Each structure stands twice: as structure tokens, then as C-alpha cells.
Amino acid sequence: GHGGDHTHEDNVHDAHQINEDEIQVEFCDNTVRSAKYTILTFWFLNLFEQFRRVANFYFLIVAVVQLCLPSPPVSPFTSVFPLVFVVVVTMIKQGYEDVCRHRSDREINTAPVNMLDRDLGDTTVKKSKDIKVGDIVLVKINETFPADLVVLCTAALSGKGYVMTANLDGETNLKPVFASKLTKHCKDAEDLCKLAAGQIECESPNPDLTKFTGKIRIGNSSAPLSLENLVMRGTKLRNTEYVYGCAVYTGRDTKMSRNSKITANKFSTVEKTMNKFLLFFMGLLVFEIVFSTTMKYLIGIDLETPENCNELKHWYLGSVLKIEALQITEDFFSYLVIYNYIIPISLYVTLEFQKFVGGKFLQWDKDLVDEETGEGGQINSSDLNEELGQIEVLFSDKTGTLTENIMVFKEASIRGRKYKYDELLPSGSSPAADHLDSSLSVNTDDSLFDPNGSYRDPMDENEIVEFLRALALCHTVQVGRTCDHMTGDSAAVSSSGAYTRLLPRHRLKSLLTPLRVAARTLNKDSNMKQESRGNSLQPSPTEEVGSSDENMGPPFGSGQGRDNLAFEGDQDSEIMYNAASPDEKALVEACLKFGVGFSGEQETAGGHFLHLTETRAGYTSKRVYEKLQVLEFDSTRKRMSVILKNLDTHEIVLYTKGAESSVIPRCSEGSFFETNSHIDEYALVGLRTLAVATRQLHEDEYQHMQHNLNTAAQAMEDREEKIRKVYDEIEKDMVLLGATAVEDKLQDGVRDTLVKMSEAGIAVWILTGDKRETAVNISYSCGHLQPHYTLLDLTDQTSMSLGQSMSLHEDKLTHAHADADFALLVDGTALTIIFSDKEYQKQFFEVSIKCKSVICCRMSPLQKAEVVSMIKNSDKKPVTAAIGDGGNDVAMIQEAHVGLGIMGKEGRAAVRAADFAFPKFKHLQKVVLVHGHWYYYRVALLVQYFFYKNVACFSCQLYYAFFNSFSTQTVFDSVSLTLYNICYTSLPIFLFSLMEQNLSKEKLLDYPGTYKRHFRNKLLRWREFFLWFSQALWHSLVFFFGWLFFWSDSSNKGGLNITSGLSLDQVSFGTAMYASIVTLVNLRLLFQSRSWNVYLVLSIIGSILFYILFTFAEHSVSIPASWASAFLGYNENEIGGASVPLDSATYWVYHHVLSSMSVWLFTLLLLVVAISPDIIIRILRKHWGVFLNRKNKKMRVETEDDDVFSMSYTNKAYLAHTDSFTNRAHRDSRTNSHSNKGRHGGVGSHSISYSNKVYSTEDSDRFGKKVGSNVFIDSDGYSREQNNITTKL
């Protein structure tokens, strides 16, 4: 349990006590630790992790064996040096990364915080890591909360504050928090110190972000605590001057830390395949060792036989070889030392550096930089670079990812009648004006006419005003300013300033001047007087802007209290609305433009008061409402309500807004059929809808509800359920006022990106919490769903019907035409049933994998991750990617093979959790189709090439064994074995893997289908692997037996291997062969590369020249005799001169090899013979591929359907064709022309035209060129008008 009887500064943190054993008596500190090592543990843990790799552990064993052998065939340096090099380089890289983590941790842990010191009676500055459970912390505006705190008091009298939770859920909207009722009266540290000893009981630390229950005790009084009293670590204080809170969860116990689960390390497909290749070579190595050891004791010429029991026939071979266990073991390990080089130890370190440096290219890509923020691509896990080129299924969040999360008011349905945006503007307003400006004029004579000149029924106007009042009052919006500073402790706001300061100063003059003129005219005529309301903020017609009224009554008369009215502190700051929901903000902003403006909320000792300023009638009037109760929105009720008292009429009214499915059934009066019909029409074009209702309450009804609500709020168990029942009792028998339609704008380039993802063969799944209609139509508008797709519906299913529905869909998919395309729609309810049954999961996968597009609606964040996991772990195991922008997408992002984050304006939870991040969804094109393709191609060839070059070189060791009686003799010297992978052949392939572009950026973007070429790890399949392996064997055979033939010619005088009268011996044989192989494996990259560049060419030439020069120098080195006797064990008496060669076996050998013209010519001949098959295969592959492409293209042209569907389709046009759209179809003008020529006849067609009401979802640049002001020519060759779109089906 969390808590106990331990106090800290008189504030006890206790658990909701279940039993004594569960009480937590010790709490963790507030230190953040993301680093993996300390200075002491780094050396041991890092080495342990490195040698957990199979390859590193294998080479460690080889090095130990080589050091233990009494007479190793080659120097132990050949194994020890490469291993040490790889391990040290990796340690430096991982150590640097951990140092960066330590710096980040130190910055967080040492951040200054203000903590209450009871002894001083004031706050003191301490470090964030010093916060302990029970400490009282002061957080000021724009500061981040350092721990999970229970709010004790705020700058507002009501104890209300606002926080931004972008770090938790990616949302930049402000959310309200409230101080405890027992402590909200405190205003400073002195007041808090005067409190009696207190105690907080709460639940144990848990990751649930949606629930918190507890209780606070001060003296003999107690009060409940809920989620609205808790501020979580990582959130930021906004629009509130300060907050005092008591720390309840610290460090790893905070909800943010509890949600940051440590996921298993992700491994790319390439790395998994590479491990399989490694196992193959280990098996090959064991076979070579066993084979060679066996052959040595079967056919060795130095074996002990009855004929040579005393001495060998060939006396120079030494003593007779006896078959003994110790000798066999020694030979076994000697062959291990000789043959182990076939496994490339430098592959891992080269691959790590390639991924690290290659990742920088994505970060440096200027095409991924957002012009607004200046941010570019970001890589958090370079280990998964190549996985970007293997994505088969993409899971995408909708809000904030596909859409901008910017809501725009479009239409409204009021009492059964539809109103467009410009029809709701007050008389005299310009429909095109985005804000009120100097062109605004008030003409009372035409107040009954809308901006289009149509007559406006006064009864309709009353209904509109009532509807707008409901929207302007039913919310949790706060009035703020762009400078984001509060002046709540400043002087009280004057009455006349409440409305005038709602807009910037330069706009107020243009707005209020005509209003005063109109008001004066009205007063003189005395025909129409302003309605004076009890506590109205109405200024007199002659009153100057900003004047104050000293005789104001409540709620402003006292001048005391705090408010969030829009008042003018900074002359240049612009007032703005801050809301917890972008929908609310859009609705309140629209109401302001429609003449019913929310002026702000004032908090006084007498209560909370909401102020409206109405200008629709041509003059300004003020209304004041006392806010009695807010019934907050929750995902179960799907609605919110506010209970207000009109101070003019003293009537109590309830306003409710929410999902139509939760509001309309609770209404007893209103235009149900018309409103439902309008909501369906709005949903069809992708608009977000809310239903609005109201109810008049009697005083006794409200008092009864208040009593029940207080009782439910005190409950420690099932508190939410009991409160919900009280809400349900009051939210009934309402009058339906209408519905709103708000557009969630798509991000730029979303449609084009999703279309290209589909063309690339990537199945896109949209996972959203929105309702079915909105999800479907957003999918249509963004190109995720195409009109010719057949939609398979799995929504509104039960456990009984789900299996039958999936079987029907499966049959439909099985018997469908090859060219038919399908899409699947499923909701959270159906997925809950599917997750619980393995058979359902298999059936669902079989259906979904055959669909081009899948939409999952009404989903929770947990279900998103479960869907990703189900598809990822299915039988076919496709490579998955998930993209999102908020904290609610983190689980999905971490679950997928590749996590992609969209950089929000301030939220960074998804970015931190993602493997790759970029500013906009449209950047997904470049990241996946270009960088992903290049990454995979480069890394795949890097892996294949490393194995190829080792087989090409070190297979010669096995061939040589057949000619040296399997005597564990090496054909190459120790230095050559050591430097082959590290120096002679590493740089060209490294640069190749960084810069190779088999296809240009333009081709990859213009032809997304090329992305499919590498699906299912095509370049690393066993077929490709054995092709490379065969080429390597061919090259090794050519060079070994070619040079063997060259050496075998020595029987004739003046043969090939004679230079300067001296024969080239065995060491020269190995040196010539080695030089040829080094040259070939480097030149091989020139034939493999599709895009030569100066760096690659220079690196190949440089590597060959480096080998020549280094070998020439190394074969020339001699050391002083004294050094040789001191360090190399030479006997001074046997040294015949002042110096001795560093290596007597190789001394001056390369000079003799290079001095032979026949060696140079024969090397060129062998290079041509070896590389010829590669060139021939390359040419045949290219021309055969071109021939097949031409043949396929010709077949497509012959069978291509001649009917065309314009990409500029609309949702409504498609749904009207399927007879699922009714109301608007009757209102719009529609023409249907039918022909009996058939769909594929080429003459007849079925066309549907819609006028006026069509919502275009794409600009002209994507699909055609502009010919006139309204007419466009599509790429398909027919014209369409902007306001009259003809869609060919």
C-alpha cells in the first residue's frame, strides 16, 4: 500500500488502507534515472552485454584457444587485435550515448524547485531530486510539475488552475484542475503553515492516467480527492499564476514513470537474418575443421606406419606423427584458428557505424525540415534504419497525425433547419470576414435579413440565439491572452472593460464605434431601448472605452476576487480562448463571430459568474449567469453539462452537449428526425458532430441533485459510478436544440502520402476513437479509402454474430475477382470479442490481410497496441510500423516493429517513444519510400558483401590443405590475416553502404511500386545468399588454382614464376594470391554500384594502393639485432649482422613478386576471368528484366479497363451511388444518366452530378491543370467544374 503513519513537514501521505501488510512505509526519492551505467558498473556490464553477442563470444574463445596452443599456426595477434578493436570501438560508442543520458538526467534532477520550509514560514529553492513524499511544492506559471502533486491551493479563489498535458497525451489544450475544498482558501506559504497537521490517503502507485482516488484530512475535517485534484509529473502550469501542491508520488512511482515501461529491445529483420547466416558459417566452420582433422590422420604422409616406424621417408618433415588424443585435440584447435577468419568479426562494428552515420543523413535531410518550427527528422534508434524499407502494415492514429487537430466550425442544425457558417453571422457582417474589423457596420433596418439578403424569421432568430447561448455557456473554456501571463492579482476589472478588452485594441475601435452610433440613435428614437439586465455589464452609449463604473453591484461591485475575464494589461497582446478540447474552442470562437460572445468567468466569494456579450440584434447587451455545477465529460457518458442560474430571471437551466448517441435518446422534445438526418449528412462528409440540448430545472430538483452528488463524491469505493448515476438522473427529459458540425482539417499532403503508401504495397490501418461515420469519411477524404473499394463491415457485432459475419466476408474475399479491392471496418467492441478468442484472431487476420485498407473505430489506446501485437505476431509475421503524435499512441508505437512519431507543437511523448520522428505526416513519403529503400538496400548488400569477401579469401586456406598434407600450414602470413577486414577491404564497402543509390529520389517518389521489390527481406533470402556464396567460391577457385597453375610451370626452365633468376617460393605464392583477391573484392563494388561517386572510386583505389604500399614497407622492415635478442628471443651468437628482418618468412618477398612482369600480367588475366561471370549475369538480369517489364506493360494496356474514376471524388458522391445518403440528395440537384452499354463497353457510362453541396477534398495541383477560373482538365482527359463535379463510375 502507499502511505503509512510517517509524516513529513506535518503532511502525511497514506494509502487507502486495505490491510496493514499493504501499507507503504518507505518511498522512493524523486531522482530520474534513464542512464544504464555508472562509472563503476560500465566496464563490467558493457563487456558482459558485448560478449552476449554470439560473434563476439565466438572470437573471444578463438583468441583464448590461440593463446593456449603451444605452437599456433599463426600469431595470436591475428585474433586478439581485431577483437579488442571491435570491443573498444563499441564501448566508446555506447559510453558516449550513456554520457548523454546522464547529462539529460542531471538536467532534470538538478532543476530548481520551490519547496515550503515550515521553519522559515516561506518557500526555499531546492533541487528536484530532493523532493520527498509529503513535501509541499510551489509551481509557477509555465513551469513543469516535478512530481505528482495533490493541488492544495491556486491563485484563484475557487482553487481552479489549468495545466497542459502535452507530455502525457500530446494534446496542447488546457485542462482544469482543482484544489481540495479544505485548503483552497490558502493563498500563500504563510496560510499553509498555519494549517493543522494533515494526512493524505490515496491508492498505491499505478500507471492508470484516468483514475485517482484518495482522501485528505486536516484536523477533524476530511474531503475526497479525485483525478481533478491531481497534477502529474511532466504537465505544465498554464494560465494560472501559481499552484501549491503536496507530493504524493515521486520518482519511479509517478504515473508518467509507471507508463514508461521498459520494452524489449527491437531487432531488425536484417539482424535476425544475419544471425542465421552466422550459424550457417559456424556449421561450415565445424565441418571444415572436422574434415581437415580427419583427413590429416587418414592420408597424411607423416603418419606412423609399419614401414616408417622409426623415421619418415621425407626426412625434412621431422618426426613421425603419432595418433594421440592430445595431438588430435591440438590439431583440431589449430584448424579452428586457421579457418575461423571465414567469419567476419568486423561486420558488427562496421554495421553499427554504418547505421549511426547513415542515420545522420535522415537528420540532415532538408526535405524533412518544417518551415514553421525549423525542426527536422530525428532518430532515436539507428539499429532499425533498414526496417524502414520492409514495412508491410502501417498503423496510423487519426487526430493530430492525419489531421491537424485544428477545428473549424462549418454548419449547424438548429430546431430541424440547417444553417451554413455565413447564414449564422449577425446582420451587417461580411461572410468572408474572418474577424470583426473596421468594415463592420450595424444597420438596424435590415436586422431581419441574413447576409445573403434572405428574410430571417424572428422565431428562427430566437431559436438561433438560444442555440448559440447554449454553445457559449456549456464549456470549460478560459479566456486568456497570447502572452500567457495572468494578472489575477491586479485590480478588479471594470464593468465596461469586460467586452471591449476581448479583442485587441486596434480591433476594438472599429467594432465599438458603430455600436455607439447605433445605440445613440436608438436612445433618441426611444422606439427601441436596450434591455437593462440586473447585473449587466452594459456601458452607457456615451461611455468611453475602458471607463469604469464605481457603483457596480455584484458580482463586480466589491472589487475583490479573481477572474479570467479578458482584461487589458498588455496593449499589444491579443486575447484568445483556451480550452481542454479543440472542439469547444472552435464552437466558442464561432459564437463570438455569430454575435454571442463569451466574455469570461469571474470568481468571487459569492460564486462563479459567466458573462455573455450579445450583438446580434444590432446593439450590445450583457448577460450574467451564475455557474452552479459542471458535469464533466467522460468517455462513458460521452457528454458534458453545465447548470446555470440566469441572474435576470433567476431561472435554473441545464445545457448539455455531446455525442448524438448519448444526448438525443435523453431528450423528450425536439426535431429528432431532422436533426438525426442532418448529423448523418455531416458525418458523411467527414465533419465532427455534437448534439446540443437544454432543460429547465426547479430549485428543489437542483437541491436534490446537489445532495446526492455530495454523497456520491464522499464515497471511497465506486465513486465514479455513483457520480455517474446522479448525472444520469438530471440529464433527462431535455429539449433538443440542434447539432453542430466542425471540421478537423487534414494535414497538408496526407492524401498524396496515403495514396503512395497504398501504391507501395503498404496496407494502411487507421486506428481512431472516433465514431464509425466520422472515421469512414475522414478515410475517404484523405485517400485511405477509394470509392471503388468494397467495404466489409464488422461494427455493432455481438459474440454470436461476429463469427458468422467474418465467415461471410471471408467467402466474399475468396470468390472475388482478382481485380476487386476490399476495405474492412471494425470497431472496439468487435475487437474486444476477437482478442478473447484465438480462432477469431486467425479469422480476422485472414480477412484483414486481404483488404487494402482497414479502419478501426471507437478504440482505446490499449486496443491500438493489442491490434498491432495481434498482426505482428500472426502466422505471416508482417513487418509493422505505427505512427502517432500523442502519449496515447506510445503503447502502439512501442509495440510495432518500427515506431514513428509526429512532432507536435509541444507534446513530445510520442517522439521520445518512437524510433524515428519527423514534423509532418507528409514526410512519411521521403522517410519510408526513399530513406527506407536506400537503408535496406545498402545494409543488405553490406551483409552479403562481408560474407562474400571472407569466403573469397579464406576458402583458399581449405584448398591449400589438400596440397600440404593437411599439416595445419597457413597460406597467408599473420599480418595479412589481421588486416584483411580491418584495413584492406573495409573503407570501400563502408562508403558504399552510406552513399549507394540504386534508384534516384525522384524515381522512388514517382514510382512507389518500386518499394515492393524488397518485401519479405528479399535481398537477404537464402537464394540471394547462395548466389553471393557461389560467386565467392568461384573467385577463390579462380585465384587459388590459377596461381597454382602459374607456380606449377616452374618445371620448365624460364617458366612463369621466375624473376631475376630466382624462383618464387611458397610465401610468394600466398602473397600473389592475396594481392589478387584484395584487388578483386574492392573492384567488385564498382560493378555492384548503380551510382558511382568520387568517394567510392577514391576509396577503392586508395585501399588497393594502401595494401601495396603497406605490404611493400612491411616486407622491407628490419630491426636492430639488440632489439631482436631482447624482444623476439633471437640468440645474439646466431645473428650474423647489425640488423635482422622483422619477419624472416616474408622479408623482401613482395619486392620479388612485384618485379615479375608475368605476375602483373597473370593477375590481370585472373581478374578478367573471375569477374566475367558477374558482368554477364548483371547484363542478363538487366535486359531480361526490361523485357519482362515491357511484356507486362503491353498486357496491362491490352486488358486495361477504359472507364475512369477521377481521384477528385467526394464522399457524398460515392455514398449517394450506394443509396446510403438521402436527405441532402433530395435537396441537391441530381442528374442520373443510364446506359445499357455496360461498364466495360467504352461508350456508355453511369454518371452522377451534384451541385452546390459537394465538398472537394483535394486541390487541382494533384490531379490536373487549371484551364479557367472554375474548370480543370484531369489527367484522364475530362473536365470538371469546382461547383459541379461529374464523377465517372
Which amino acid does the sequence have at 866? E
Between the alpha carbon of residue 1272 and those of residues 713, 956, 1211, 1259, 1276, the distances in Å are 62, 69, 20, 10, 11
Name residues whose C-beta falls within 8 Å of residue 1232's C-beta, 6 or more positions apart in sequence: 1246, 1247, 1248
Where do the H-state alpha helices sit in 39-156? 42-50, 54-68, 77-109
- Give dist(CA 1200, CA 373) in Å, integer: 46
- Give dist(CA 1048, CA 605) in Å, integer: 109
Between the alpha carbon of residue 41 and those of residues 32, 37, 51, 93, the distances in Å are 18, 6, 15, 16
- Give dist(CA 158, CA 562) in Å, integer: 9
Q: Cell 572470437 sits at which residue?
A: 59
> If residue 654 lies in a helix (H) or strand (E), which one and from where to where?
strand 652-658
Cβ neighbour number for residue 521 with a 10 Å cutoff: 15
Q: Cell 428614437 sits at which residue?
A: 525
Concatenated DSSP letters of 778-845: HHHHTTSS-TTSEEEEE-S--HHHHHHHHHHHHHHHHTS-TT--EEEEEEHHHHHHHHT-HHHHHHHH
Cβ neighbour number for residue 430 with a 10 Å cutoff: 14
Q: In Å, how far from its chain's centre is CA 54?
A: 32
Report DSSP state, residue 1059.
E
Where do the H-state alpha helices sit in 37-76? 42-50, 54-68
CB 602 within 8 A of CB 611: yes
Cβ neighbour number for residue 1167 with a 10 Å cutoff: 17
Catalytic residue among 14, 397, 889, 915: 397
CB 50 within 8 A of CB 87: yes
- Give dist(CA 66, CA 416) in Å, integer: 90
Between the alpha carbon of residue 574 and those of residues 406, 501, 568, 577, 620, the distances in Å are 19, 9, 9, 10, 21
CB 754 within 8 A of CB 413: no
Cβ neighbour number for residue 1095 with a 10 Å cutoff: 14
Concatenated DSSP letters of 1159-1206: HHHHHHHHHHHHHHHHHHHHHHHHHHHHHHHHHHHHHHHHH-------
- CA-closest candidate to residue 587, choices 738, 379, 447, 711: 738
Which amino acid does the sequence have at 1164? L
Q: Is 700 a catalytic residue?
A: no
Helices 325-339/933-961 angle, 10° precision? 140
Q: For residue 802, give the C-alpha cell.
A: 461476429
Are β-strands 393-397 and 763-767 bridged in parallel, bridged antiparallel, or unpaired? parallel
H helix and E strand count, the chain: 40, 46
- Give dist(CA 341, CA 973) in Å, integer: 13
Residue length, the chain? Answer: 1289
Concatenated DSSP letters of 419-475: EEHHHHSPTT--TT-SS--TT----GGGTTB-TTS-B--HHHHHHHHHHHHHHHHSS
Are β-strands 11-15 and 790-794 bridged in parallel, bridged antiparallel, or unpaired? unpaired
Report DSSP state, residue 602.
E
Q: Write out the catalytic residue numbers.
A: 397
